[in-house]
Structures are given as C-alpha cells and as structure tokens.
C-alpha cells in the first residue's frame, strides 16, 4: 500500500512540479476515494441510532437472558436490514490508509527527493521544516519564534470541528437517552491541542495534508448529512 500511494504522489509531483500543490491535489483525491466509505459509515451510524430505543426495550425485557437477548437483537437487525459492520468497517479500512499516508508525508524524500521539500509554498520557506510563527512574523526570537504558525492553527481548528461533528453524529436520537460509551468531550478538546503542538515539530507538508484533509472532511460531513437526511425523508 505504501508503494501505491507513494507512486501516486510521485506521479502528481512529476506533472505539477510543486510539492505544496501536489499535497493539495493528493489530499483531494484521497478524500474523494474515501467519500463513499464515509457515506456508508454515516448510514450505519444513523441506522444504529434509530434502533437504540428498540435495543433499550430488548435490554429491559431480555437483559437477564443473554442468549434470548442476542437472538432478539439479531432478529431486530434482520427486520431493520441492518449490518452491524456497516458503521465500523469503513473506519477500519481507513485506519491503515491514514498510517501509510503519515509515513509517506512525514518523510517523502525517498519518493520525491530532497529538492521537493526545499521549495517554498505560500508563506512557507520550505515544506521540510515545521510551520512556526516566525514564518508569519519575521524577527521573532526565543520562545515566541517557536510557537505554531498558521497551518497548525488551521489544522487544530478543523480537527476540533470534525471531532465535534463526529460527537454530534454519535449522540442518541432520543435526547433523554444517555449516550453509550465514554464521554468524548475531553478528547474533542485534547486532540486538536495535540495537533497544534505536533504542528510545531512535524514537517509543514504533513500538517498541510492534515489541515486540508480535515477541512474537506468537515465539508463532506455537511454534504453527507444532507444526503442521509434526504434518503430518510424519501
């Protein structure tokens, strides 16, 4: 899989000649490929939310008899034409892709050569070094110069927005019903903060991918919400 994505990245770079624009095009292509999986995952989550009241009733009625409960749950799945893997399988497919992309973009020199990272892009003097505040405000020194720049801030903001969107999608359909699983509010805050800190130490090219990927995902979430809502109405 690494060779496949590295080859695609290399072909785009050979056509364009700019590493920054290559990452933009590459990110858009990846998000387009993953878009059908995102729709499938969202449909599975929405179907699961709709079944929660019935699941709660089965839990009350058959909770002490696990065998009977499991049988009734499977009957409910069949009745609702619901596949339990539909919500998590697309996510499981995406995880190795994310790790492969992280590996490639963290160190793209073996695939593109060192000269690709030495190119400037927008306000960035090169794509190999982190995007720091000094890139935007020249003349800074000391601790201020090492603070995260524009890209890490954008990446952190849209990581928060996509995390918040995911949290809202997982909320129970019934407002009186408590959500299953641990409260994700803390992770919704901590994860963007971690991205902000990583942005001050990881290559700008990697953070550009992460920022743009989350921007596209945020827009896709809005589009998918409309698609799923229109299908539910029909």
Q: For 127-179, what is each residue's pLDDT tens digit?
A: 888 888 887 788 778 888 888 889 999 999 999 998 888 777 665 555 555 55
* Number of domains comprising the chain: 1
Q: Which of 75-89, 94-108, 210-224 has the lowest mean pLDDT?
A: 75-89
Q: Among residues 92, 90, 91, 73, which one has the least CA distance to residue 82?
A: 73
Report the pLDDT value the prediction gives residue 180, as an integer from 0 to 100: 46
pTM: 0.76
Q: What span, in angstroms and rounded, lies between the C-alpha atoms of 124 and 130? A: 9
Q: What span, in angstroms and rounded, lies between the C-alpha atoms of 197 and 102? A: 16
Q: Does 85 score more than 80 pLDDT?
A: no
Would you give the end-to-end CA distance of the chain in angstroms?
39
Burial class (CB in 10 A: 0-12, 13-18, 19+), 181: exposed
Greatest mean pLDDT range, 27-36, 154-163, 176-185: 154-163
List the structure tokens of 36: 């059908």
Q: Which of 9-18, 48-57, 156-165, 189-198 has the lowest mean pLDDT?
A: 48-57
Structural domain for 44, as ranges: 2-233
What integer is the mean pLDDT of 66-90? 75
Beta-bridged to residue 148, according to DSSP, are: 132
Burial class (CB in 10 A: 0-12, 13-18, 19+), 222: exposed
SS (H, E, C) the chain: CHHHHHHHHHHHHHHHCCHHHHHHHHHHHHHHHHHHHHHHHHHHHHHHHHHHHHHHHHHHHHCCCHHHHHHHHHHHHHHHCCCHHHCCHHHHHHHHHHHHHHHHHHCCHHHHCHHHHCCCECCECCCCCCCEHHHCCCCCCCCHHHCECHHHHHHHHHHHHHHHHHHHHCCCCCCCCCCCCCCCHHHHHHHHHHHHHHCCCCCHHHHHHHHHHHHHHHHHHHHHHHHHHHHHHC
Phi, psi of 121 (to 5 degrees): -150, 120
């Amino acid at each position: 899989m690494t060779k496949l994505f590295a080859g695609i990245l290399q072909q785009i770079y050979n056509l364009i000649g700019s590493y920054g624009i290559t990452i933009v095009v590459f990110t858009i292509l990846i998000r387009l490929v993953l878009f059908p999986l995102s729709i499938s995952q969202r449909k599975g989550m929405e179907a699961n939310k709709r079944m929660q009241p019935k699941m709660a009733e089965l839990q009350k009625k058959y909770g002490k008899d696990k065998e009977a409960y499991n049988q009734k749950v499977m009957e409910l799945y069949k009745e609702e034409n619901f596949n339990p893997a539909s919500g998590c399988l697309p996510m499981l497919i995406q995880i190795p892709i994310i790790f492969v992309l992280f590996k490639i973009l963290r160190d793209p020199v073996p695939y593109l050569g060192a000269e690709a990272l030495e190119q400037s892009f927008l306000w960035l003097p090169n794509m190999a070094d982190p995007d720091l505040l000094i890139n935007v405000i020249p003349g800074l020194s000391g601790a201020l110069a090492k603070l995260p720049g524009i890209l890490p801030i954008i990446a952190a903001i849209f990581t928060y927005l996509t995390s918040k969107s995911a949290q809202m999608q997982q909320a129970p359909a019934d407002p009186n019903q408590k959500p299953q699983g641990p409260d994700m509010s803390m992770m919704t805050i901590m994860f963007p903060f971690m991205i902000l800190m990583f942005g001050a130490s990881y290559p700008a090219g990697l953070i550009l991918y992460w920022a743009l990927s989350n921007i596209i995902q945020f827009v896709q979430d809005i589009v998918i919400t409309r698609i799923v809502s229109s299908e539910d109405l029909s």
